[in-house]
Structure 1
């Protein structure tokens, strides 16, 4: 392992530093134990023994970067130490720890090869100790290998699970970022759609009224004043709706909570104001509302959707249908609400607004968002029709 990551740190120290400290500590402990314990029938612990102890323990400092090389080096150092006639000591832990590292980091044939080498060294250590019975000399390497494989296998499984968790955590973070970006994009589309509906409708009304006021400014002052009043009213309402959208953006509330900030959310309750504003432009509009059975009020998001579709449809009639009349029919029934907007304006050959523009696209996206259907097209008897159907949750 060539580097350290935040997961490979202990108390702010990277694992290479920890391994170096451990190898140095084992070397010092071995030397102190060798000087304190000097049996008469073994070679006296001297400077050469200290050197062999360093050759056995210090390679463990690189056990994570080069585990197999560290194991072979510590096994060679310990074998040389025993061959020179020094008594077994804490150096015995050098090959054991080296094998443990190989089992954890290099499973497979490398771990098997390391086990064979370590078993031979541990067996040689038993042979060099005459006091040990032959059975202990044989069983000791087997017990060491079994313990190292059990502990090393458990550590390797835990490390694998930690890596898998790290991968899953990184993937979840990426998915969360993607969902956040997607939510932001959807919110931008929704706000853009709202802005289009608000601006397109009110600017269409204002444009028509400006043309009327300019035309009758001198010849019919009362009509010009009425047109200016309509312009002022449309401007104020557009300003209120723009303020509502900005409040939603600033405070982070939804459409149902926006009314708490002092601005009424558009809905079917305000359809009369919408129709009056359109009538003021000279377009006759009739409204019919049918209720099959007593039904509860629409949820705020569905109420706004129906209102926006009616608003956009009347705006398109005002802009593209020419001299015409329009009829808005709203039907409430359990489980659904239907809105139909028809006009008797000029035919589809001359009429340009059926071509898919941002208005129609925005209506379709808005309706699709709530699981509804929107059908548009010319009528056989002339004019154009927009029909909206939205599913309404049935409250028990």
Structure 2
């Protein structure tokens, strides 16, 4: 009746479980012998101590073979009785820990059946008490039955609590996985949107200059190819996050990559200026990636939708926050009209909000502006 081995648990948990089992084994040994002596046993080495040693030793393997431990414990108690010894103070309690442990398994019905059989035997075996003291007999039988019910109920409750805790861990794990997938989807959108914007502009340049200026067309195609290659590397890095082996995951672009981003935008025909104030090295990794993605998505939107000639990127690195603002001179939203947010703006807003920041986007005199205030105090790299 060996139970299937349980799933591997961390070493500290196993050590604590082993200490608990040793403690229960010692308490069983001491308590059984103490009760036997208190109930009139004169020679504890004649059966009492050997049985106590057996019951205690079995508890050391109760987690691995709970049903086997229960049956051997009951068998030892019966053997003790058949040799002419009366079980000290009852039949159920010497195997209390074994009953509890077995009740945490799916075989709880067998545990109840075994307990009822032992309880019935106890009631029959103690029938001689009826003629002498009926109250004592009832206390004996009812007490044994109540103890059995408490042990089984405690085992069921413990097993239910462990299942509930496992479900909570699984739910938390699924929630973290969903958050990670959402983050990766934002990253993929940002990479693809920026790449398509820059590549699209370069392809238009190449198409217009193909006949009149082949060299300019070739340069535009080379730039488009370089941007495409970097985007593919970013996408491979992001997809690697979803795999089991994170060893191949490359670092995500951050503030150090802003220069390359601005250069790509300038090569695409957009006059971009970058104005930074403060120390970017003091910004932790997660807010730094968010700043980069806000700039990247804003420039991509400018290239795709704004028909702009100029853009200004201003970043202020303060001790407790980073403020990034991107303005362009492209087509402005008519006064009073609502700004329709696509996936790009919505993704930026979610990214910034997840860090406790605020993002605003809307028309300004002469163009359009995106501003993000991202806190960095207490962030971890």
TM-score, shorter chain, exceeding 0.5? yes
The answer as to 2:373 corresponding to 1:344 is no
Residue of structure 2 in register with 1:86 after alignment: none
Where does 1:60-75 land on structure 2 (aligned, <5 Å)? 64=112
What's the CA shift for 1:173?
Answer: 1.7
SS at match of 1:315: helix
Deviations 1:221-245 (A, max 9, x none): 2321221121121012112212322
Q: 1:252 to 1:299 in 2, by over 3 A?
A: farther
Residue of structure 2 in register with 1:302 after alignment: 287
Does the CA-based 8 Å contact 2:130-2:137 persist in structure 1? no
Residue of structure 2 in register with 1:389 after alignment: 373
Q: Bigger shift: 318-327 or 145-154?
A: 145-154
Deviations 1:95-134 (A, max 9, x none): 368xxxxxxxxxxxxxxxxxxxx7xx8434xxxxxxxxxx
Q: Whole-Å Cα distance in 2 between the matches of residues 390 and 369 of structure 1?
A: 10
Aligned match for 1:95, one of 124, 142, 154:
124
Q: 1:122 to 1:343 in 2, by over 3 A?
A: same
The answer as to 2:232 corresponding to 1:239 is yes
Q: Whole-Å Cα distance in 1 between the matches of residues 287 and 227 of structure 2?
A: 24
TM-score normalised over the length of structure 1: 0.63
Aligned length: 292
Q: Whole-Å Cα distance in 1 between the matches of residues 211 and 180 of structure 2?
A: 47
Deviations 1:234-288 (A, max 9, x none): 01211221232234334554xxxx7xx5955311111111011011111111111
SS at match of 1:327: strand
RMSD: 4.0
Residue of structure 1 in register with 2:216 after alignment: 223
SS at match of 1:155: helix
Q: Whole-Å Cα distance in 1 between the matches of residues 318 and 130 of structure 2?
A: 89
Where does 1:20-99 land on structure 2 (aligned, <5 Å)? 64=112, 93-95=122-124
The unaligned stretches of length 5 or more in structure 2 are 5-62, 83-109
Residue of structure 2 in register with 1:312 after alignment: 297
Q: Whole-Å Cα distance in 2 between the matches of residues 323 and 353 of structure 1?
A: 20
Does the CA-based 8 Å contact 2:255-2:280 persist in structure 1? no
SS at match of 1:11: helix
Residue of structure 1 in register with 2:18 after alignment: none
Residue of structure 1 in register with 2:341 after alignment: 356
Aligned match for 2:182, one of 169, 177, 189:
189
TM-score normalised over the length of structure 2: 0.65
Residue of structure 2 in register with 1:123 after alignment: 130
The unaligned stretches of length 5 or more in structure 1 are 30-61, 75-90, 98-117, 125-136
Q: 1:371 to 1:96 in 2, by over 3 A?
A: farther
User: Which has more radius of gyration?
Assistant: 1
Higher relative contact order (CA 8 A, sep 6+): 2
